[in-house]
């Protein structure tokens, strides 16, 4: 049965995870994400799930990967400094193709920065934070309702593609309370990882199935014996120095997201059809942007709104055609310019870019964005 | 020659192994496998975990569920695996740098939780794979590529560290005592909680070349001549014990195991109904 809740974004992420089938959480306290761990600590034992508070951020993601290896849908949550600490083991999960969900409730940085204030300074770290080539799937929700929904999607993507999926929340969203319409579990689409159908003797842990180019995954303890390593490996999971095998493995890490890009990419638009100016924004900032866009429309300005829901992969082709028509983009971000570079890449110079940066621990006011719209639209 | 049932546990196609001829780690791998076989373990229900380093390449050679993780972090991964599936037998093989330097935090917390994992610490007093740098167990005055004038950092005693942090089984042997190694690992596996078996191993290539133990035989003789069983050590003065390797079982005690505590927590809150 559908029910209505009044939740913080962090609480919504936690219940979204449980609805998605998450039954393992390894974490470490950090503001402003701790409520996620707190809800999981309270709820998971009730579901016969596993919660463990580890000794540090690094151990939090390590245990989470361990839980996934033993067959659980697993999650960890953190914020800026913790996201930095998790990067090495995040890389192991990409390399070893272990499905996990990592939530980063963004706060100001660098370093300890602003533990209780919003920022959007981790979005490039989400893409490039761990060393080495890999494809990224990262969601940026902009409402407490959407926190619930993208967390379920994040698990579905992680399980389907056998890789980490990131949720880039932010401090305002994490701590803001809003109405959430919680759908009946029966109505949800839930994806579980593909398991091997062959015998243990025939199991080749990193050989993709020909029909979807994705390898099934066994769990430790379910009768299959296999090797997991962060070293570059062949289809059997063993380290390799063979150039052909290295190229094949790394290309597949990219291809498994690139090939399904259209099924992963998500975005939202409003009033873009006849727009001369489009405001592109994500996360909490998108709410301010939308409010400004509507006020501008009320004033008769032809302004549109474009919100990437997946920051990675970025909805580049979709934005490009709209941007070409409009000719002008405004990109407000709570950083000195991160996604704006990806947006520039996406539009190939077909639209003029107006960057707005705010780095003071606060959100934009709708009036500030409206002012910029009026200036640009003039 | 290893017994046939022990050979069954090896991924034979990867031999010869990558360790230097005469390395102590092979003796330890053989002891681990004998202990697992004699404990009646099945390969499908056994996890061998490791971090990074020479010792940490061991899981690649063992035909069970194996996971070669990041430097120092193997116990944190193993903790997740054990909590998820307490039925699994987990042996975490670690080097001295892996265990006491970069992974020191995970080591003491695994001891504290008393989670049912057996850590086999292969202590050869050096970072071997990276070329012979000093580790937290390099003895005072010993030379290493990053301690060219002799180490001035006081070393850790792995067993005392484990005991202080709460491990419920702690023992030490040297590679010159392969039967004792096997026995202690077996006892560690039989212990329900967190077990630490420190095995003093040799790295003649990196440690020996700078410290007058250039050959494998030099090292074995050194261990034989300088090992003291715990019972004898208890009657010796601190001066006489200087530079000696005390072998034996230091801790054998009962305490609630972590995943059992977790299971009773789940039962208490009515989980899994």
Does B273 have pLDDT greater than 70? no
What three-state secondary structure class fits B267? Answer: helix
The count of other CB atoms within 10 Å of the CB of residue B229 is 12
Are B133 and B224 spatial neighbours (Cβ–Cβ below 8 Å)? no
Strands (E), B80-226: 89-95, 118-123, 126-127, 133-134, 169-174, 195-200
Cβ pair B80:A55 closer than 8 A: no
- B271 has a pLDDT exceeding 90: no
Average pLDDT (B156-184) is 98
Shortest alpha-carbon distance between residue B86 and chain A (Å):
10
- Rounded CA gap, B111 and A12, in Å? 35
pLDDT reading at B233 higher than 90: yes
Q: Test A229 with B60 for CB contact under 8 angstroms.
A: yes
B69 touches chain A (CB under 8 A): yes
Backbone angles phi, psi at A156, to 5 degrees: -60, -40
Query: Per-residue pLDDT for B272 more than 80?
Result: no
Residue corresponding to tokens 């994040």:
A154
Task: Write phi, then psi, for A221 (nearest 5 degrees).
Answer: 105, -5
Cα gap B196→B132, rounded to integer Å = 24
Alpha-carbon gap, residue B232 to A40, rounded angstroms: 51
CA distance A62 to A76: 9
DSSP A88-108: HHHHHHHHHT---EEEEEEEE
Give the separation between CA B65 and CA B90, rounded to whole angstroms: 9
The domain segmentation of chain A, as residue ranges, is: 3-187, 267-376
Q: What is the mean pLDDT of chain A?
A: 97
- 3-class SS at A358? coil
CB-CB contact of B33 with B9 (8 Å) = yes
Quick check: A220 and B77 CB within 8 A? no
The model's confidence at residue B62, banded by pLDDT at 50, 70 and 90, is very high
Is some CB atom of chain A closer than 8 A to the CB atom of B87? yes
Interface predicted TM-score (ipTM) over 0.95: yes
Q: Which stretches of chain A drop beneath a pLDDT of 50?
A: none
Whether the upstream peptide bond of residue A207 has omega within 30° of 0, thus cis, is: no
Q: Are B194 and B168 in contact (CB under 8 A)?
A: yes
Q: Which of B14, B45, B66 sits opposite A221 (nearest CB)?
A: B45
Residues of chain B in contact with residue A97, where contact means CB-CB under 8 angstroms, are none
Mean pLDDT of chain B: 97
Token pair of A165 as six digits:
């999926």
Q: Are A10 and B233 in contact (CB under 8 A)?
A: no
Choose among A144, A102, A197: nearest CA to A11.
Answer: A144
> pLDDT per residue over A291-313, tens digit each?
999 999 999 999 999 999 999 99
Tens digit of pLDDT for each residue in A210-237?
A: 999 999 999 999 999 999 999 999 999 9
Hey, are the CB atoms on A220 and B270 less than 8 Å from each other?
no
**Topology of the domain covering A3-187:** Rossmann fold (3.40.50)
B70 vs A45, A64, A230: nearest CB: A230
**Residues B181-200, mean pLDDT to the nearest whole number:** 98
- From B87, which residue of chain A is nearest by alpha-carbon distance? A221
Best interface-test mutation with A: which of B10, B73, B80 has the largest number of A CBs within 10 A? Answer: B80
- In chain B, helix, strand, coil percent, each to 5? 40, 20, 40
Q: How many CB pairs under 8 A join A and B?
A: 133
Give the H/E segment covering residue A204. Answer: none
CATH code for residues A267-376: 3.40.50.920
Q: CA B205, CA B20: separation in Å to the nearest integer?
A: 8
- The answer to whether A64 and A40 are in contact (CB under 8 A) is no
Q: What is the pLDDT of residue B1?
A: 80
Q: What are the structure tokens assigned to A87, written together? A: 């990067």
Position A28 scores a pLDDT of: 98
Residue A332 near residue A142 (C-beta atoms within 8 A): no
Rounded CA-CA distance A94/B227 in Å is 45
In chain A, which residues touch B (CB < 8 A)? 24, 26, 45-50, 52, 54-56, 58-59, 62-67, 69-72, 74, 88-89, 92, 200, 219-221, 223-231, 238-239
pLDDT one-digit tens code per residue, A342-365:
999 999 999 999 999 999 999 999
Topology agreement, domain A3-187 and domain A267-376: yes
Q: How far is A117 from chain B (nearest CA, A)?
A: 30
Pick the residue of B46, B81, B84 with the most A CBs within 10 A to test the interface with A by mutation: B84
H/E stretch holding B166: none
**Of the partner residues A24, A56, A239, the one whose CB lies closest to the CB of residue B84:** A24
Fold of B16-270: Rossmann fold (3.40.50)
Q: A236: which 2 tokens?
A: 């059997």
């Amino acid at each position: 049965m559908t029910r209505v809740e009044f939740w913080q974004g962090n609480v919504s992420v936690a219940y979204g995870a449980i609805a998605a089938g998450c039954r393992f959480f390894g974490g470490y306290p950090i503001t402003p994400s701790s409520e996620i761990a707190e809800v999981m600590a309270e709820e998971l034992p009730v579901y016969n799930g596993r919660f463990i508070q580890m000794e540090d951020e690094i151990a939090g993601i390590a245990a989470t990967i361990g839980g996934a290896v033993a067959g659980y849908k697993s999650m960890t949550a953190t914020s800026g400094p913790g996201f930095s600490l998790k990067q090495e083991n995040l890389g192991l999960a990409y390399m070893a193709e272990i499905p996990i969900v990592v939530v980063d409730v963004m706060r100001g940085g660098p370093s300890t920065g602003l533990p209780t204030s919003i920022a959007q300074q981790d979005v490039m770290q989400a893409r490039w934070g761990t060393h080495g080539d890999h494809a990224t799937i990262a969601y940026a929700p902009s409402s407490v309702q959407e926190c619930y929904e993208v967390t379920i999607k994040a698990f579905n993507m992680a399980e389907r593609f056998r890789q980490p999926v990131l949720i880039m929340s932010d401090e305002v969203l994490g701590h803001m309370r809003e109405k959430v319409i919680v759908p009946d579990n029966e109505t949800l689409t839930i994806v579980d990882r593909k398991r091997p159908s062959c015998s243990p003797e025939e199991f080749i842990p990193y050989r993709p199935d020909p029909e979807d180019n994705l390898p099934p995954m066994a769990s430790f303890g379910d009768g299959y014996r296999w090797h997991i390593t962060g070293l570059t490996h062949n289809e059997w999971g063993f380290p390799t120095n063979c150039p052909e095998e290295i190229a094949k493995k790394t290309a597949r890490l990219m291809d498994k997201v690139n090939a399904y890009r259209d099924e992963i990419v998500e975005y939202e638009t409003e009033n873009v059809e006849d727009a001369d100016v489009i405001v592109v924004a994500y996360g909490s900032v998108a709410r301010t942007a939308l409010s400004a866009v509507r006020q501008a429309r009320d004033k008769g300005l032809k302004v549109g709104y474009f919100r990437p829901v997946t920051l990675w992969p970025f909805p580049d082709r979709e934005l490009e055609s709209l941007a070409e028509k409009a000719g002008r983009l405004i990109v407000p971000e709570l950083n000195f310019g991160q996604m704006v570079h990806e947006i520039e890449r996406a539009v190939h110079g077909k639209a003029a870019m107006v960057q707005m940066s705010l780095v003071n621990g606060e959100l934009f006011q709708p009036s500030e964005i409206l002012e910029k719209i009026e200036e640009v639209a003039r | 020659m290893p017994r046939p049932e022990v050979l069954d546990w090896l991924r034979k196609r990867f031999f010869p192994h990558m360790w230097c001829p005469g390395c102590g780690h092979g003796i330890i791998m053989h002891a681990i496998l004998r202990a697992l076989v004699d404990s009646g373990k099945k390969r499908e229900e056994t996890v061998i975990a490791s971090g990074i380093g020479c010792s940490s390449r061991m899981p690649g050679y063992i035909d069970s569920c194996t996971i070669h993780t990041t430097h120092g972090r193997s116990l944190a991964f193993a903790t997740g695996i054990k909590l998820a599936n307490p039925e699994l037998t987990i042996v975490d093989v670690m080097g001295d740098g892996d265990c006491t330097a970069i992974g020191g935090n995970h080591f003491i917390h695994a001891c504290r939780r008393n989670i049912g994992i057996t850590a086999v610490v292969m202590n050869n007093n050096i970072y071997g794979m990276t070329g012979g740098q000093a580790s937290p167990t390099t003895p005072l005055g010993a030379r290493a590529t990053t301690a060219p004038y002799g180490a001035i950092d006081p070393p850790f005693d792995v067993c005392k560290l484990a005991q202080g942090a709460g491990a419920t089984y702690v023992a030490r042997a040297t590679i010159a005592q392969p039967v004792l190694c096997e026995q202690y690992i077996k006892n560690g596996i039989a212990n329900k909680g967190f077990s630490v078996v420190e095995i003093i191993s040799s790295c003649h290539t990196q440690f020996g070349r700078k410290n007058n133990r250039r050959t494998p035989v030099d090292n074995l003789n050194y261990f034989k001549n300088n090992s003291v069983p715990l019972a004898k050590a208890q009657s010796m003065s601190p001066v006489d014990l200087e530079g000696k390797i005390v072998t034996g079982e230091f801790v054998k005690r009962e305490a609630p195991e972590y995943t059992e505590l977790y299971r009773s927590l789940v039962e208490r809150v009515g989980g899994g109904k």
